[in-house]
Structure 1
Amino acid sequence: MWIDCEMTGLSLSEDALIEVAALVTDDELNVLGSGVDVVIKPPQQALEQMNDFVRTMHENSGLLPELERGMDMAQAQAMVLDYIREWVPDAGKAPLGGNSVGTDKTFLTRDMPELVDHLHYRVIDVSTIKELARRWYPRAYFQAPEKTGNHRALGDIKDSIDELRYYRHILFPADPGPTSDDARKVAALIKASPTGSGR
């Protein structure tokens, strides 16, 4: 369950959730359905206190002019949940996926708790894989696909899915992968030793 949010800033006490998009994929990262993208009308105070960087970003993406016609939070949550439940009817089954999804999840927990309750407690954060690639496989990191989402929620989700597809192909061995015996041998070596070699 891939979700991306756009906000007026990163402060939970002052900023507003203004766009939420969702896409469901299967285990092979194939997108199911057309997804959902909702624009939410924020309180005037949240608009007024946006800093220049965020305001310019949302102006350039075309999101800012859409906010006046945005829906309320209850409508937005219902639309996102309707799409998710079409593909994942049972609560607690689908982990939340995306880039730096911890920030998104804090705003969703505040504003769309029913949606968060439908998700699995685990997350699939592509940013983690990206940071590991930067440290361990820098050539792969620097060849990752360029982002094209333009700070719109649905576009950013598609970027995240493409990014994970890339890292899956470049970093994770294809089937059949390591044998069970090979995996057991490596597991026996890894005992949280200082070197990670089991010594």
Structure 2
Amino acid sequence: MTGVDPLVDRIIEIALLVTDLDLNIIDEKGFEKVITVDKEYIPRMETKVIEMHTQNGLLEESLRSTESLDQVQEQAVNYLSNYVEDGKSPLCGDGVTTDRAFLLTQARTLNSFFHHRTIDVSSFKQLTNFYKPDKKYIKPDVSHRALDDIRISIAELRYYKGLLFD
């Protein structure tokens, strides 16, 4: 995303990984696509976001991409339909409430494929910090690329699953 406001900022990358209930990744390659962004849009982005996406290569990739958000969300739904039933899977991730807001405003087709329930890893993080502060999860450095972030979120959720439910 080019920022955190779904009414102003844009989705420029979509990535997906599907897991089973034990959080084993079903398809390690996953789904990862970069969405085109107009060069004229860049000055609207916050400096911090421009720096982050320049450093991780996403800004350059999105300037070169020829795929629209509509094309990518259609491909994403096709990918998901190989593994899960329409409307059955919750949207999962770390801080995924923001992702849901972007999907609701910009990628409604993809959003409607997910169940209305959301599993936000950051909720487990907050609860662990409140009730078991000595058990904090130490997150590795992140690239701020969607697929890498998902892998880290899965690892973090595995940690909380082991800590709280196993």
TM-score bin (small chain): over 0.9
- Compared CA separation, residues 79 and 148, structure 1 to 2 (3 A): farther
Counterpart selection for 1:101 from 96, 102, 112: 96
Q: Give SS of 1:25's match.
A: coil
- Give SS of 1:53's match: helix
Shift of 1:32: 1.1
Q: Once the two structures are superposed, what CA deviation does each residue of 1:126-154 show, in whole Å capped at 9, x if it has no partner?
A: 0000000001001111xx24234310000
Question: 1:91 is matched with which residue: 68, 80, 86?
Answer: 86
Q: 2:6 aligns with which of 7, 12, 16?
A: 12
Which one has the bigger strand percentage?
1
CA distance in 2: counterparts of 1:63 and 1:147, whole angstroms:
20
Which residue is equivalent to 1:116? Answer: 111
Q: Quick one: which of 65, 73, 77 aligns to 2:73? A: 77
CA contact (8 A) 1:108 1:115 kept: yes
Q: Does 1:156 align with 2:149?
A: yes
- Identify unmatched segments of 5+ residues in structure 1: 1-6, 175-199
Q: Does 1:24 align with 2:18?
A: yes
Q: What percentage of aligned pairs have identical amino acids? A: 39
Contact 1:41 1:72 in 2 (8 A): yes
1:45-66 CA distances to partner (integer Å, 9 max, x unpaired)?
A: 4322111111111111111111
Q: Distance in 1 between matches of 2:75 and 2:105?
A: 17
Q: Which moved more, 1:154-163 or 1:96-105?
A: 96-105
Counterpart residue number, 1:181? none
Is this contact kept in 2: 1:148–1:156, CA < 8 A? no
* 1:145–1:166 contact (8 Å) kept in structure 2: no
1:134 alignment counterpart? 129
Q: Deviations over 1:128-183 (max 9, x none)?
A: 00000001001111xx24234310000000000000001111222x2xxxxxxxxx
RMSD: 1.3
Which residue identity is paired with 2:147?
Answer: L
Q: Residue 20 of structure 1 aligns to a residue in which SS?
A: strand
- Structure 2 unpaired stretches of 5+: none
Give the SS at the match of 1:164. helix
CA distance in 2, matches of 1:110, 1:76: 15
Alignment deviations for residues 72-112 of structure 1 (CA, whole Å, 9 cap, x no partner): 11211122111100001x22110010011111111111221
| Distance (Å, rounded) in 1 between the aligned partners of 2:83 and 2:121 | 22
Query: Secondary structure at 2:17's aligned position in 1?
Result: strand
- Answer yes or no: is the 8 Å Cα contact 2:12–2:37 preserved in 1: yes
Q: Judging changes above 3 Å, is the alpha-carbon distance between structure 1 residues 13 and 44 closer, same or farther for their aligned structure 2 residues? A: farther
Partner of 1:166: 159
Counterpart for residue 183 of structure 1: none
